[in-house]
Amino acid sequence: MKPPTEQAVRRAASRCLNQEAVTANRIPMGRSHFVFTVQLVSGERVIARIARHDRAECFASFAYWRRQLARVGVPVPRVLHMDLSGTALPWPIMFLEQAPGTDLCNVYVGLTAAEKRSIADDLLDIQHRTRGLPPGPGYGGIASYGDLRCHPRWSDVLWEYFTGAVDQLAPPQREAPAIGQIRRTIHELHPEFDGIAPLPYLIDATHQNVLVEDGRVTAIVDLDEVGFGDSLYPLGVARAGLLARGPEADCIEQVAVPLCVGPNQRRVFDLYSAVACLKMLAPSPLSVAGPPSAGSQIAVRLRSLLDAFAGAAAHKE
């Protein structure tokens, strides 16, 4: 799928929002959707998200989870309009209010220690509020409480993440030592994973999709699914994403502390970060962006982190 033109997005915005759209600019965020900022003639700025036809249900689920999460006090943007029929554009499109701030990973290196502590406090509060939702019907990311496309055990979710990424690698890459270490660790910790309750967590609130401004979290902006299982998993993803871009991820480590209680929890955290590195390096059939180029600084760093986290997870105390 090629990205829609800015002119087409302006026309769609004008039609859906009943006022002229002056500009539309694509922004480099979102792996599964094309994302544009749109300025209206009134001066208001909104976000346009555009999906493939086979991903249209994501917008309906976004609206569903937005209502659920707003009810428990999670900061989420309002849905202004949705067109899933392809009338405004040849693809499904959703318009959201533009929340202030930018992705955590884009501003993290410039944050002060005090701001990182404030963001950690905000993330802990959001995590607590999300736990105010009922438990899920199973495990993994789902579109609604009525969505039965879930797994019976948390270990099944983790195994799907791992094998889904490995299947996208070239054959020589599948033989890397880190792959074998992750596979063995998942099998070894299987009983621990199967004791995890299907409690809600924000599956895509990681180093991305968490907007930050003036050292505070302003909004969670990807709500296509809510996850059920181990809320330590997205923190493992966030840690990997921040370390791929900078020297530390202390803010995420602070949020993870209450969840890393027990003899194996640190190994589990390291395993989650290893799986996250693997997923970031592997092509995804759902992605419109693709993985980082093999020689890029982020890809080189992710490969190093993959080896380090996989080795740490495999190590028994």
Q: Which two tokens stand for residue 161?
A: 């993440």
Of 261 and 123, which is predicted with more confidence? 123
Task: Express each pLDDT in 140-162 by its tens digit.
Answer: 999 999 999 999 999 999 999 99
pTM of the model: 0.93
Question: What is the pLDDT at residue 294?
Answer: 82
Residues 272-293, mean pLDDT to the nearest whole number: 82
Domain 102-314 class?
alpha beta
Q: What is the CATH number of domain 6-97?
A: 3.30.200.20
Residues carrying CATH 3.90.1200.10, the chain: 102-314
By the 8 A CB rule, do 212 and 205 touch?
Answer: no
Question: What is the pLDDT at residue 293?
Answer: 83
Residues carrying CATH 3.30.200.20, the chain: 6-97
Q: What is the CA angle 145-70-221, rounded to 5?
A: 90
Task: Express each pLDDT in 67-119 by its tens digit.
Answer: 999 999 999 999 999 999 889 999 999 999 999 999 999 999 999 999 999 99
Of 125, 124, 251, 264, nearest to 194 by C-alpha is 264
Task: Express each pLDDT in 258-270 by its tens digit.
Answer: 999 887 999 999 9
Task: Express each pLDDT in 195-242 by its tens digit.
Answer: 999 999 999 999 999 999 999 999 999 999 999 999 999 999 999 999
